[in-house]
Amino acid sequence: MEVYRSLKKLQEDLYKKKLTATALTQYSFSKINDNTDLNAFIEVFEESALNTAQKIDAKIANGEPLGKLFGLTIAIKDNIVYKNHKVTAASKILDGFVSPYSATVIERLLAEDAIIIGRTNCDEFAMGGSNENSFYGAVKNPHDTSHVSGGSSGGSAVAVAADLCMAALGSDTGGSIRQPASFCGIVGLKPTYGRVSRYGLIAYGSSFDQIGPFTHNIEDAALILEVISGGDDYDATCSQKEVPLYASKLQSETKYKIAYYKNAIEHEGVDEEVRAASLAIIERLKKDGHQVDGIEFAELDYIVPAYYVLTTAEASSNLSRFDGVKYGYHAKEAQDLESTYRLTRSQGFGKEVQRRIMSGTFVLSAGYYDAYYSKAQKVRRIVAEKTRKTLETYDFILCPTAPTPAYKIGEVQDSIASFLGDIFTVQANIAGVPGISLPLYKTKNGLPVGIQFMAGRWQEQKLLAFSNTLMP
């Protein structure tokens, strides 16, 4: 069967009855089974996916109206709930849990005839940048299986990059869509905070988390964003702003003003080939007639520490609900309520999650709140304000998505070194602005290198149209 990387082309062939949605879905399952070594999927939803596919085929046969995403095989990160399906956030502590309801994004995908084929592996509770922190094991990069996929949405990125499905949803708290997209050579979009409902997303850092798509092209990313965006009564932080028809406005001949951080590209932690790719895109943009200016971002070295103080604080609160009492893993040897909490949480959570919960509890504790949490909030305000002002002067901010290409599995053992991999992505989350990683370059060894662009709040339309002009 032909490998489809464009929803438009797939839908044309479905209309012409060159294939069926059922056959396409079965093909995806066979591809997943043939690539289990990548460890991208935790579970496939064979029964429900085939039921959806059969309904689409019946609609086509009967000439009935079809949704915008009909035929799209899409995977969901294992922290997005789907009614009557298991969800674990890649953690032992939620082993066997079946969701009693669906996330808003799931309802919206299904309403537009998307085929949800399974749940993908991720770093436990979305905490990690390599997808090595999963109860189900590391996800492998399809470009070189000895290398990491990126995280925390590594399974979703690999599923798309390896053509196991056409698209996938991930969540992005500090780069968890954009960084694995960069490592795997696909498009990864983090929308403006509040653009997409978080209802049904298992929370890590509630004021940072945002759901977004992985695709092979901009048109599909725009269409998925169009479907999953919009106000939601179940999420008070979700904007009621009208959702543009993103996919219908992807042509752009505008010459933009673009800023790049000189100290980011020159940063000592940036790989030479990543630096070369960044300089190459700057030159390309200049040749295309855009104004590209180098500016300084003095707060660069402060954003990662501030981000981790704030997100771990939120995580310590959000994850307090997982205690072994009502659902999920329960330590059998527990004798009373105190030992239930202590044993269940110490056995159920992985080391990285435990580390972040304890860090968050520490920065919120008496005597340390002002020293850490309140200072981090001040940094957040400064970064958000500076980002806003920069994006009032410039249309976009350019920087590498990640300081390095995908590194080898097991190569980075130090947590601090892992955290620094987020140095270029966390700004978009701190400021609440949209960011996208584009697969524009490769290293001499064939590993993808993503370039990131950020735009002002609610400027996804402009960001997508501009990105579309850069794609091969």
Active site residues: 77, 152, 176
Distances (CA, A) of 382 to 108, 152, 298, 356: 36, 26, 11, 24
**Which amino acid makes up residue 424?**
F
Residue 394 to residue 260: CA distance in whole angstroms: 10
HSE-CB for 104 with a 13 A CA cutoff:
21
CB 184 within 8 A of CB 91: no
| Widest distance between CA atoms in the chain | 70
Q: Which residue has the tokens 């190459």?
A: 280
Of the candidates 6, 14, 158, which has an alpha carbon nearest to the alpha carbon of residue 75? 158
Residue 194 to residue 296: CA distance in whole angstroms: 28
CB 350 within 8 A of CB 133: yes
- Judged by DSSP in three states, 201 sits in strand
* Bridge pairing between strands 448-454 and 435-442: antiparallel
User: Got the DSSP string for 264-323?
Assistant: HHT-TTS-HHHHHHHHHHHHHHHHTT-EEEEE--TTHHHHHHHHHHHHHHHHHHHGGG-S
Q: What is the 3-class SS of 394-460, one letter each residue?
A: CCEEEEECCCCCCCECCCCCCHHHHHHHHCCCHHHHHHCCCEEEEEEEECCCCCEEEEEEECCCCCH
At 189, which helix (H) or strand (E)? strand 187-190
Of the candidates 382, 404, 239, which has an alpha carbon nearest to the alpha carbon of residue 302? 382
25: number of Cβ within 10 Å: 26
Residue 245 to residue 248: CA distance in whole angstroms: 6
